[in-house]
Structures are given as C-alpha cells and as structure tokens.
Amino acid sequence: MENYHGYTDSALLALIADDDELAFAEVYRRYKGVLFLHARRILGNDEEAKDVLQELFTALWTRRKSIDLKTSLPAYLYAAVRNRVFDVIAHRKVEEKYIASLATFIEKGEYVTDQQLLEQELSELIEKEIAALPPKMREVFELSRKEDLSYKEIADQLHISDKTVKKQVNNALHILREKLDMVFTSIACFLFL
C-alpha cells in the first residue's frame, strides 16, 4: 500500500481525478480537522459542521474529474466550506421564519379564525332574534339601528309619535338583551366547565 503523506496537493488531485481512493483519503485526512473546526466555529454546532464536511468531500469525489483549481487546494476547500456554511445559515433563517410564522398562525391564526367564527355566529343569532321581534317593533328597530334614522325621522316615516318609536326601540333592546344574555350565559358555562 502506497503512502501519500509526502505528496503535494496537486499530485493528490491528479491521482484523485484518476479515481485513486487512497489519494482522496489522504486529502480527507489532511484537511478534515481544520475544515471541521472552521465550520463548527461559524455554525456553533458539531452535527451541522460534520454535515458540511460530508457534503464537501462527497462533492469533491463526485466532481473529481472536472475540478480545475485556480487557487490552492486549501483555499478551494475553505471557500467550499464557507459557501456550504452560508447555505446552512440561510436554511436556518428560512426554518426560523417558517417556525415563527407557524407559531404566529397557531397563536393568532386559530384564535382569529375562532373569533371570526364566533362573531359571525353571534351576528347571525342577533339577526335571527331581530327577525323574531313583532313586525312593527322590528320595523322601528331596523330603521333605528340599521338605517341609522333618528326617532323623529322614524316617527315621520311611519306616522307615529316619537314616544312610540322610543318605546318600541327600548322594548326591542330589552328583548334582545334578555335573549342574548341567556346565550352568553350558556357559552360562559360551556367554556368554563
């Protein structure tokens, strides 16, 4: 078995290009330690640093026939580690944004959705209770609350007195308040059981 310890990096790369696995093992032995420390120093994580090195050396072996270095082997390897470290950091940021977005959705999204659903159900319930009011009372109430007419305007439109309008609106509010209080009491009892 040949010892590649004394070979130059250029000689090792030429042998690797000819599929020499022992020359590849020598390059790995020479640079894995310093490259790992470099990656770990930036990433602060042993497993991610190991992954970076594995990807780097896998790519080096896969592209062994087409590697044409313009710099020294250590400079090439350091640049490759740096690029992969940047990829890991970018991936972390994407993950962190996704996790933050997911957390926001879980915290606020479901709450907002539940709250919107509750508001819609409440609105439908109020409309149902308004529809159940006696016809004249409902007409007065809707003119007051939905069309935002004054008591005088309603009285003029329906040819009744202001006092009758006021009494009809107050009666409608009293009926709605009683019915909705029962609903809110039921919801509260359900929520706090």
Residues, the chain, total?
193
Question: 32-38, long-range: CB within 8 Å, 24+ apart, which pairs?
Answer: 32/57, 35/77, 35/78, 35/81, 38/78, 38/81, 38/82
pLDDT digits (tens, 9 = 90+) for 38-76: 999 988 889 999 999 999 999 999 999 988 888 899 999
85, two tokens: 């470290």
Mean pLDDT of 95-105: 68
Helix, strand, coil percent values for the chain (each to nearest 5): 80, 0, 20
Query: What is the set of domains in the chain, with CATH numbers?
Result: 9-97 (1.10.1740.10), 132-191 (1.10.10)
pLDDT digits (tens, 9 = 90+) for 20-30: 999 999 999 99
Separation of CA 147 from chain center = 42
More confident residue, 147 or 100: 147
Mean pLDDT of 157-163: 91
Residue type, 38: H
Burial class (CB in 10 A: 0-12, 13-18, 19+), 52: buried
